[in-house]
Amino acid sequence: MELIDGMDLNKAIFKNQMFDDSIPKKTLHSILTQMAEAVRYCHCEKFMVHRDLHVGNWMITKDNKVKLIDFGIAQKLGKNGVSKEYWCTE
């Protein structure tokens, strides 16, 4: 477990507690890229589905490092991939 010195994305971004006026495009791009990489890592490297992704379960540190937290209802999957119940419906 890791102690994170930061705040959740809801406070940092949507309630403007971390950024003065607006988020610079470069910083926003970095945040979104880190979020996508975290989800990719969970799915492809650890074979895990988080099952509770929302802004309150993402933390951002003072140096803009994004961390995915609260794996309380995550589910470990077999190495054969994701079962049908987690497939996207179209």
pLDDT of residue 22: 75
Which CATH number fits the domain 6-86, given the four candidates 3.40.390.10, 1.10.510.10, 3.90.1150.10, 3.30.930.10? 1.10.510.10
Active site residue 52: yes
Question: Where do the structural domains in the chain lie, given as residue ranges?
Answer: 6-86
Span 60-78, pLDDT tens digits: 998 889 998 887 777 777 6
Q: Is the dihedral of CA 59, 62, 66, 67 positive or negative?
A: negative
Catalytic residue among 8, 21, 52, 63: 52
SS3 9: helix
The stretches in the chain having pLDDT less than 70 are: 17, 20, 78-90
